[in-house]
């Protein structure tokens, strides 16, 4: 059965919409440790590690696990984890629907807009005439009939497997080659070095787009959604978490990035040999106004913005002090 052509989500139908909270977390020991989860993707990991560091400076403890996307959703539904910053819609809609229907998780808000997620090729392959999934299928011999994916169970892998099963665009006799994100990108690097054809899962933001001049295939709207896999990335939590811990909840709602900001963090990690948290710190150093966005806005969970866990002190000043920044 083919995936539905329209997978876009009306945000108002997913986001928690109860009234505004005003209480902080300083008297709630249950909020002391924030249990985060991440998948091994550069962008999601950079955001998560940056969030963990920020929370630590505000007086919280953090605990992070790394696993596959299905495990992330399951852990939130079972109240084993508190927050995940990597819900890509519409591509992950099929994986999350059952939890949403049961009311087992909350969508806090968008943390990144304008993303892409579909199959891509290097620019030299695109310019040779491989611009759509139909073009790809017609040139099987050039690609050895292989599309390179990432970790097993990932939604992108599932979509490719569904396309193969459906013989979509003539891909019925192709093969998905799963790997880790790092393993897939290493294969892309080897092929690009010798200007050989390769088709692989690709997404933006990610430094691959600049490093390999990645171009995205058209014609796959029935599986990937419109705009060549156009996507929005959401922050999600276990049911009720942002109301139980409104200070953290408001930070999660405010913790947003532009494509340029997330691309910069990815570049710091992959091309400048920074660890993920250090990449986040470097982003703040170079763009301290981002702290106003994260801390000073009130919203659904607090009316006055984000504070330290104790409620004392200016969180912007706390972060700047931790980074050795004056003013």
pLDDT for the residue 146? 99
pTM for the predicted model, two decimal places: 0.79
Look-up of token digits 């891909």: 171
Residues 1 and 157: beta-carbon distance below 8 Å: no
pLDDT for the residue 126? 98
Mean pLDDT for 139-145 is 98
CATH 3.40.190.100 positions along the chain are 116-219
pLDDT band at residue 210 under the 50/70/90 scheme: confident
Provide DSSP, 25-74: STT-GGGSEEEEEE-S-HHHHHHHHHHHHHHHHTT-EEEEEE--HHHHHH
- Cis peptide bond prior to 278, omega within 30° of 0: no
Between strands 33-38 and 83-89, the pairing is parallel
Residues 62 and 56: beta-carbon distance below 8 Å: yes
Distance from C-alpha of 276 to C-alpha of 295, rounded to nearest angstrom: 21
Domain 116-219 has CATH 3.40.190.100: yes
Distance from C-alpha of 136 to C-alpha of 127, rounded to nearest angstrom: 13
Mean pLDDT for 227-237 is 94
pLDDT for the residue 207? 86
Q: What contacts 73, CB < 8 A, 6 or more positions away? A: 84, 95, 96, 99, 105
- The per-type count for the chain, helices as H runs and strands as E runs, is 18, 9
pLDDT for the residue 7? 36
Tell me the average pLDDT of the chain. Answer: 91
**pLDDT more than 70, % of the chain:** 91
Residues 240 and 106: beta-carbon distance below 8 Å: yes
H/E stretch holding 235 reads strand 230-238
Model pLDDT for residues 268-296, shown as the tens digit of each residue: 998 899 999 999 999 999 999 999 999 99
Residue of higher predicted confidence among 27 and 246? 246
- pLDDT over threshold 70, residue 244: yes
Arch. (CATH architecture) of 31-115+231-322: 3-Layer(aba) Sandwich (3.40)
Model pLDDT for residues 79-119, shown as the tens digit of each residue: 999 999 999 998 899 899 999 999 999 999 999 999 999 99
Helix-strand-coil split of the chain, %, nearest 5: 45, 20, 35
Between strands 105-122 and 230-238, the pairing is antiparallel
pLDDT for the residue 91? 83
pLDDT for the residue 24? 61
Distance from C-alpha of 13 to C-alpha of 107, rounded to nearest angstrom: 10
pLDDT for the residue 26? 61
Q: Any alpha helices (H) in 202-275, and if so which ranges?
A: 208-211, 221-224, 226-229, 241-244, 246-254, 259-271
pLDDT band at residue 139 under the 50/70/90 scheme: very high
Model pLDDT for residues 7-27, shown as the tens digit of each residue: 344 343 445 444 444 446 766
| Both tokens assigned to 123 | 């620019």
């Amino acid at each position: 059965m083919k995936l539905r052509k329209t997978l876009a989500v009306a945000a108002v139908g997913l986001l928690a919409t109860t009234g505004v909270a005003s209480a902080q977390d300083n008297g709630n020991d249950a909020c002391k440790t924030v249990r985060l989860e991440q998948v091994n993707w550069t962008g999601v990991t950079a955001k998560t590690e940056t969030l963990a560091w920020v929370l630590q400076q505000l007086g919280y403890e953090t605990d992070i696990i790394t696993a596959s996307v299905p495990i992330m959703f399951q852990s939130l539904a079972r109240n084993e984890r508190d927050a995940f910053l990597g819900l890509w819609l519409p591509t992950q809609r099929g994986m999350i629907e059952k939890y949403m229907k049961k009311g087992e998780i909350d969508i806090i808000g968008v943390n990144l807009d304008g993303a892409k997620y579909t199959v891509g090729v290097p620019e030299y392959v695109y310019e040779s005439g491989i611009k759509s999934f139909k073009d790809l299928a017609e040139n099987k011999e050039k690609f050895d009939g292989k599309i390179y994916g990432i970790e097993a169970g990932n939604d992108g892998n599932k979509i490719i497997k569904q396309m193969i099963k459906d013989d979509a665009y003539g891909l019925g006799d192709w093969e998905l080659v799963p790997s880790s994100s790092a393993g897939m990108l290493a294969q892309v690097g080897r092929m690009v070095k010798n200007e050989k054809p390769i088709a692989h899962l690709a997404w933006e933001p990610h430094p691959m787009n600049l490093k390999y001049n990645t171009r995205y295939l058209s014609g796959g709207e029935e599986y990937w959604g419109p705009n060549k896999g156009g996507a929005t990335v959401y922050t999600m939590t276990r049911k009720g978490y942002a109301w139980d811990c409104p200070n953290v909840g408001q930070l999660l709602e405010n913790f947003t990035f532009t494509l340029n900001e997330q691309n910069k963090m990815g570049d710091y990690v992959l091309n400048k040999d920074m660890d993920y948290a250090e990449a986040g710190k470097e982003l703040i150093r170079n763009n301290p106004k981002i702290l106003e966005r994260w801390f000073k806005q009130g919203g659904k969970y607090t009316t006055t913005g984000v504070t330290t866990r104790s409620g004392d002190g200016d969180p912007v000043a706390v972060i700047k002090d931790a980074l050795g920044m004056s003013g």
